[in-house]
Amino acid sequence: MKTLFKMAAAATGLVVAGLASASAETLQIGTEGAYAPFNYVSENGEIKGFDIDIGNAICAEMKVECEWSVHDWGGIIPALNAHKFDFMVASMAITEARMENVSFSDPYYYNAMRFLAVKELALEEATPERLKGLVVGTQQGAVSVPVLDAYFPDSEHKLYPKMTEALMDLESGRLDLALFSQFTAGEWLAGSSGCCEFVGESFLMDGTIGAGIAFRKQDDELRNRVNAALKTIMDNGTYETIRAEYFDFDIMTKPPYVSELFDK
Amino acid sequence: MFDLYLDYIDRWSHGLWLTASMSTLSVLIGFLVALPIGFVRSRAKGPLAWLAIAYVNLFRGMPLLVLMFLVYYGFGQFSSELRAMGLWWFFRDAYFCGMLALILNTSAYQAEIIRGSLNTISTSVIETNAALNLTRWTAFRRVLLPIAFAKALPPLGNEYILMVKATSLLAIITVFDLMGEARTIFSETLDLGVYYVAAIHYLVLVLAIEWTLRRVEARFKWMA
């Protein structure tokens, strides 16, 4: 009887231990898989991108196993709250509205805006005085339009239906400058004929916070662990190594807000 | 809705002016281009006639949107060559490019209208010219052309009104006509009332054009 009890206890212990080790080692991460180069599904079905590399680096730092899954953007917050995965690395912009449903890590990158200019102009800086009388293009209805209206009233603004068309006009010389997200502009710059360059500092729209990793609101303990790991990889250079594989410019340091940069 | 108009009155006036001036100018210049082409289509045979047919088919067969895109962005691809040829000042400017596309498009349609009206002039008129011993040039200038013009006026007016609405495509090459301004105002206000204001602008403009055309038609009516 005693031996039987011991065996049962040992067996239960084994099962419990097995469960415990499994749950401590594996975390489920959700992403969208349709936002290259941040997160996308490659031709042979692998989930790849900057978000995935950062997520994996965080997992390695926390010494846990991570498994990725892709979810529709429209239902990705409900999926997180329905425990389909444990946290989300999907380039989600931190906003007040989203914070009602989820909590966010510290920003893990910033999507800043920056001017592109024709090299011949040799501008070196992009201040309202320097851009006086020059032709600046951007996309109709984009967040850059109010920036141009508010801070660059003495430049001529040309609005295009699509970003690619403005970039074509920058390349042909109809535009002197274009104002876009640093990511899209940088990607285009890499494949362009070498006509153009970034000028001036990159800047953030007032009120934007950056992209964050999202958690269920009650999972504060996990959020703190991820924040700590994120800080470590940012400090020890792992982050920069990953970033350099995707982008030629800094996305980790918080850029100034547009009002800080151009007011007075 | 009235405040949508008043708050953005500068934008609306700019859009209205652009739509009215570009459609009017393109129809007038288009008419001058269409006149010889229509005449050749109606009277000539041989290589000249083939050229005229090719022109009409090319620019009538191509959607205005495509034509605008090709003239503006297409020529933009050859900016260094155009610079070398001294033509870049023209193609650099979105307004000129838009005007060129509008003229190419409307002249092809107008050439067909002119051809049609020249073809309907009865042979007795031509015989009368011969009987009066008029030279071919005088007969054309003083008799055939005025009659053809009078007959062509209603369809030409129709073409003018179509062009007023066609200018809304100019926004794709950064020229903001009424519709382009309306879209900009909409992106700021997200109020669908903006499009009612735009529609009223178009209506008023078309009514003004119709009123003018009716008066011109009345003057030429006895000939048509």
Domain ranges for chain A: 2-110+207-262, 113-203
Helices (H), A26-152: 50-62, 76-81, 96-99, 144-151
CA nearest neighbour of A185 among A121, A142, A152, A123: A142
Of B73, B183, B184, which is closest to A165 when you measure between CB atoms?
B73
Q: Is pLDDT of A191 > 90?
A: no
CATH homologous superfamily of A113-203: Periplasmic binding protein-like II (3.40.190.10)
Cβ within 8 Å of B, A 173-202: 173-174
Does the domain at B2-223 match CATH 1.10.10.10? Answer given as no
Size of interface A-B (CB pairs under 8 A): 36
pLDDT at B164: 95
Neighbours of B71 (CB within 10 A): 20
Q: What is the mean pLDDT of residues A15-21?
A: 48
Neighbours of B62 (CB within 10 A): 16
Strands A102-104 and A211-216: antiparallel
Helix, strand, coil shares of chain A, percent, nearest 5, are 40, 25, 35
Domains A2-110+207-262 and A113-203 in one fold: yes
pLDDT at A60: 95
Q: Is pLDDT of A9 > 80?
A: no
pLDDT at A8: 58
- The vertex-A166 CA angle with A165 and A171, nearest 5°, equals 95
CA nearest neighbour of B103 among B178, B165, B24, B215: B24
Kindly list the residues from chain A whose CB atom is less than 8 angstroms away from the CB atom of residue B94. 158, 174
pLDDT digits (tens, 9 = 90+) for A205-264: 888 899 999 999 999 999 999 999 999 999 999 999 999 999 988 999 999 999 888 875
As given in the structure block, the two tokens for residue A240 are 């920069």
Chain B nearest-CA residue for A167: B73
- The vertex-B88 CA angle with A155 and B183, nearest 5°, equals 45
Chain B residues with a Cβ under 8 Å from any Cβ in chain A: 73, 76-77, 79, 88, 92, 94, 171-172, 174, 176, 183-184, 187
pLDDT at B108: 97
User: What mean pLDDT, rounded, does chain A reach?
Assistant: 89
Residue recorded with tokens 């109010």? A146
Contact between B174 and A160 using a beta-carbon 8 Å cutoff: yes
Ranges of residues in chain B with a pLDDT under 50 are: none
Q: B88 or A19, which is more confident?
A: B88
Q: Is pLDDT of A20 > 60?
A: no
Chain A nearest-CA residue for B189: A141
Q: Which helix (H) or strand (E) holds A226?
A: helix A220-235
Give the gap in angstroms from C-alpha B173 to the nearest C-alpha of chain A. Answer: 7
Helices (H), B62-144: 64-69, 75-76, 79-84, 88-92, 94-120, 123-131, 136-138
Contact between A173 and B174 using a beta-carbon 8 Å cutoff: no
B148 contacts: CB under 8 Å, gap ≥ 6: B114, B117, B118, B121
Distances (CA, A) of A15 to A1, A24, A260, B143, B206: 21, 14, 58, 107, 83
Contact between A169 and B76 using a beta-carbon 8 Å cutoff: yes
pLDDT at A12: 55
Neighbours of A147 (CB within 10 A): 19
Chain A nearest-CA residue for B94: A174
A245 contacts: CB under 8 Å, gap ≥ 6: A53
- Convert A213-236 to b/e letters by CB count within 10 Å (16 or more is b): bbbbeebeebbebbbebbeebbee
Chain B nearest-CA residue for A173: B79
Q: Is pLDDT of A14 > 70?
A: no
A143 at B interface, C-beta within 8 A: no
**Are the C-beta atoms of residues A171 and A210 closer than 8 Å to each other?**
no
pLDDT at A190: 86
Contact between B184 and A168 using a beta-carbon 8 Å cutoff: no
Contact between B79 and A158 using a beta-carbon 8 Å cutoff: no
Contact between B76 and A159 using a beta-carbon 8 Å cutoff: no
Domain ranges for chain B: 2-223
pLDDT at A18: 47
pLDDT at B134: 87
Contact between A159 and B77 using a beta-carbon 8 Å cutoff: no
Q: What is the mean pLDDT of residues A54-68?
A: 95
Of A141, A160, A171, which is closest to B187 when you measure between CB atoms?
A141
A215-A217-A218-A224 Cα dihedral, nearest 10 degrees: 50
Reported as a pLDDT band with limits 50, 70 and 90, residue A4 is low
pLDDT digits (tens, 9 = 90+) for A103-147: 999 999 999 999 999 999 988 889 999 999 999 999 988 888 989
pLDDT digits (tens, 9 = 90+) for A161-178: 888 899 999 999 999 999
CA nearest neighbour of A83 among A191, A206, A222: A222
Q: Rounded distance, CA B45 to CA B47, Å?
A: 7
Q: Rounded distance, CA A142 to CA A139, Å?
A: 6
- Fold of the domain spanning A2-110+207-262: D-Maltodextrin-Binding Protein; domain 2 (3.40.190)
A165 at B interface, C-beta within 8 A: yes
pLDDT at B130: 84
Residue recorded with tokens 């989203």? A98
pLDDT at A24: 58
Of A145, A160, A173, which is closest to B79 when you measure between CB atoms?
A173
